[in-house]
Amino acid sequence: MKLNYQNMLNTPKTGIQITENEMKMQFAKVQNIIEALNHGEGDNQDKGVPMLGWQTYARDITPAEIQKIQDAARNLADKCDVVFIIGIGGSYLGPKAVIEAVYGKNYNDVLKTKLYFIGCDTDPDFYAHCLKIGEDKNCGVVVISKSGTTTEPALAFRFIKRLIEQRQGKNAKDFIIAVTDAKKGALRQLADGEGYATFVIPDNIGGRFSVVTPVGLAPIAIAGIDIAEYLSGYKKALPLIDNPDAEKNPAALYALLRFLAWQKGAAAEYQVTNSAFFESNLAWTMQLEPESEGHYGHGLHVVPAVFPRDLHSIGQLIQQGPRDLIEIATKILTPRADLPVPLYADDTDELNYIPQNKLTLNDINKMTIDGPLAAHYADGVPNMTIELEKITPQNLGEYHYLLMKATAIQGYLLGHNPFVQPGVQFWKDKLFKLAGKPGY
């Protein structure tokens, strides 16, 4: 994993201007922030609990705990045709990002046990579609909720629970895994009363940082992905990402350059990739960063984009629109497969130059991100790139820890607690009032 950031500096034309000296002047401050995070210091509490458990979870989880998750996942997958994953926010974005990165968007084409994510919306058409899929099939569910009363996943669980009960009767409990609080909450109470298999969401890890916990590990394991390998990515990254020397720490540089860009007027950040398999990781980032940073008028609007697809929609705005944006690209250097481009004698589409120049499809795919990034920089858009050699569970673990740590550093640079999200309660209150919830 490598961060290239030179194109965040000295942007041509009228773009956001950051100099290397301005960056270096902040290194001492960033070093203090990293040391504070490493030692559990700073503004990091939610309801009196320091929310920094994600920094050490992968290191501290035992082989026996990993095996327990894998065994439960395998047991559920082996007896089910379909498993529904119920969650919202970090409770589904993280596992979905890993599963799609490994198998692609059409993961159900290769999985024996089909997986469907539900509970992240309230669309009756999608619910009906899922229930139709589950008709006359052995269905299981992983329901992920710390409280058990979050509206969207709780609604979904009502429907899926009934679907399972109608087919399995008194054995329904054997087809349900609950990932929830250790001791309290509606889902914990129900799980203990019904005898569901359970895994714990640690008190000191918030949803958007939770993919490293059973929130992510249980669904990932059901998909047949080696969760020990995924966790090894976090452990491999610890010495690099926890290093207080900002100049040698890619998470520190990533956070600092985003912070300086925001200080100088950046309003939007395009998170881009040239890998269709990687797109859901951008959606995960779209929660991780804004929900952590969007306090007191702070933060960047995160816009995910896949190149070259989205160059044909937003490419014009990036090239010649407002100069209040930056780009962060994640490049996959080595795909699982590479394809030679067919050569045709008639060359009616004028593409024979590609195979004649001995370029493969992967060569072109690299150029469809390198070329646009160079063009955007030349027109005043700062950008940096994260390079992953290839998509593996371990590399995904490294990548996720980099972004989690960078997000925490960014929150401290902004001067607020990046582990709470008080603003979401406002729209929830309006929803509850419209729905006639008692007390609203």
d(CA 57, CA 212): 7
Q: Is 430 a catalytic residue?
A: no
Element (H, E) at 142: strand 139-144
Choice among 152, 269, 291, 293 that is catalytic: 291
Instruction: Please name which of 44, 420, 42, 414 lies closest in space to residue 261, comparing C-alpha atoms.
Output: 414
Q: Is 291 a catalytic residue?
A: yes
Choice among 132, 312, 350, 358 that is catalytic: 312
Token reading at 259 = 């912070």
Choice among 2, 183, 428, 433 that is catalytic: 428
Alpha helices in 197-345 (DSSP H): 214-222, 227-241, 250-263, 279-293, 315-320
d(CA 184, CA 326): 43
Q: Please return the burial class of 56, using the count of CB atoms within 10 Å of its CB with bins 0-12, 13-18 and 19+.
A: middle
Alpha helices in 62-123 (DSSP H): 63-79, 90-103
Q: Report the SS3 class of residue 332.
A: strand
**Cβ atoms within 10 A of the Cβ of 379, count?**
17
Q: Is 35 a catalytic residue?
A: no
Bridge partners, 117 (sequence order): 85
Q: Please return the burial class of 357, using the count of CB atoms within 10 Å of its CB with bins 0-12, 13-18 and 19+.
A: exposed
Could you list the active site residues? Answer: 291, 312, 428
